[in-house]
Structure 1
Amino acid sequence: MTRHPNKAAMLALLLSVPLAGCGNMIDRVAEIGKEPSMDPIENPMHDDNYQPVSLPMPAPMQDIRQPASLWRQGSRAFFKDQRAGKVGDILTVVIEIQDQATLNNGTTQDRDGSNSAGLDNLLGYETMLADIFPDGIDAGNLVNSDSASSTSGTGTVNRSEAIRLRVAAVITQVLPNGNMVLQGTQQVRVNYELRALTVGGVIRPEDINNVNEIDYDKIAEARIAYGGKGTLSDVQQPRFGQQVYDIFFPF
């Protein structure tokens, strides 16, 4: 009896494609006619994707107090302010991205080459060339070659981005050197469209201004994501089957 393992494997593959997106399809069908649901407010440290930050740290600072001195080593001010400084404190992240880049490159290369060689005298053996090669051979013009190459390349990059957002973030860690790790998420729903903004990274306490705000370009290892889900976002994406087709179709 002849078996066809290739046919069985192909059938399993064809069945797995629609089943892979079955869960997503069921969720979308359940949300027909409903607004996109917002995620509950939770501790970001309990998220499955949360990872504590570990960075190289300097030696711990010793708290040395001088006699009759009001200043403590490492202190930023005489009086305590309301800026975020410990785990659980909230501060505002100001995101104002106005990037524009234009790049034009052009490369042109031309090369010409010409070579010739002859053998007029070689211990009398040059007379034997007529016995090996056709009649009329010229010993002084045995090799003559020409070569030419040309390369031309152009490249153009034109990019422009403009984002202006503000989001409140929570301090989730205070590192040994005093730097702090922040994590913030904001969700806004307008009719049937949900917009989500996520920001995270490492900041210095000195970069927080007097109104408890920090600019995005002062966040080290910054991770900023702005996207959404809903009717408009769904229309802008290809269908599930089209995405699978684009992945596996080799041409």
Structure 2
Amino acid sequence: MRITILLTAGALAFTSLSAKSLWNTPTNRERSMYADRKANAVGDILQVTIAEETIVNRTSSKTSSSSPNVGGASLKSLVIPDVLEDWVPPSYEISGTDTYSGSGSITDANTLEAKVAVMVADVLPNGNLIIEGARKSKANGEAQYIVFRGIVREDDIGLDNSVMSYNILNASVEIIGEGDITRSQTKGWITRLLDITNPY
């Protein structure tokens, strides 16, 4: 009887020591069959809804003026008397005014709305997810790539396994175009060289 009690107590002690934590950790992220299907491990896929808007207003102005004035005494003492004396003015004075005024303003507004599927590339020690992904669309010979990267908290991922871009840390959105339209909008190297050397 005593041996049975000792074995039972030992089994209970071993079970309590080997029990897993009730909270998710980077090494204990098993998902229950009743849990929400949200991305939380390397290789999982989630959807990012990109809704970005940037507005930049910049105005600058500059004004400068100068009034040089140069004068001197008569030069008659340096010429031969009675020869060029009548042609030399008794004194000279040069004056002028230079004024510059300029201003400029720039207004740039950009709006980007898109949805892109990304994959969890890594899980940080605190449970945050490093995500990255790309989407390609092509129409009429023109291709467009949307490349997205960032860091997201698992708590910010919705029940539909999606997250808004403004909830993503260090979000990076790159839009890359390929095709005839993109090439026509890109200056050639000769044109860029002329722009650098042209002073006007």
> Distance in 1 between the 2:193 and 2:149 partners?
32
Residue aligning to 1:158: 107
Q: How much does 1:99 deviate?
A: 3.1
Q: Does 1:181 align with 2:130?
A: yes
Deviations 1:73-100 (A, max 9, x none): 3489984221111111111111112333
Residue aligning to 2:142: 193
Alignment map for 1:79-158 (pairs within 5 Å): 79-102=34-57, 156-158=105-107
Cα 1:220–1:105 shift into 2, 3 Å = same
Alignment map for 1:68-83 (pairs within 5 Å): 72-74=22-24, 79-83=34-38
Cα 1:155–1:216 shift into 2, 3 Å = same
Cα 1:164–1:73 shift into 2, 3 Å = same
> Distance in 2 between the 1:191 and 1:106 partners?
44
Q: How much does 1:199 deviate?
A: 0.3
Q: Does 1:213 align with 2:162?
A: yes
Amino acid at match of 1:196: Y
> Distance in 1 between the 2:62 and 2:181 partners?
43
TM-score for the superposition, normalised by structure 2: 0.59
> Distance in 1 between the 2:58 and 2:138 partners?
38
> Distance in 2 between the 1:107 and 1:244 partners?
28
SS in 2 for 1:72: coil
Q: How much does 1:219 deviate?
A: 1.3
Residue aligning to 2:192: 243
Deviations 1:146-205 (A, max 9, x none): xxxxxx886644221111111000110011110111111111111210011000011111
> Where do 5+ consecutive residues of structure 1 fail to align?
1-65, 109-151
Residue aligning to 1:61: none
Identity %: 27
Question: Number of aligned pairs?
Answer: 141
> Distance in 2 between the 1:195 and 1:107 partners?
41
> Distance in 1 between the 2:61 and 2:177 partners?
39
Cα 1:102–1:186 shift into 2, 3 Å = same
Point out the structure with the larger strand share: 2
> Distance in 2 between the 1:240 and 1:220 partners?
37
Q: How much does 1:218 deviate?
A: 1.2
Cα 1:237–1:101 shift into 2, 3 Å = closer
> Distance in 2 between the 1:105 and 1:190 partners?
41
SS in 2 for 1:206: helix
Q: How much does 1:240 deviate?
A: 2.9
SS in 1 for 2:183: helix
SS in 2 for 1:83: coil
Amino acid at match of 1:198: V
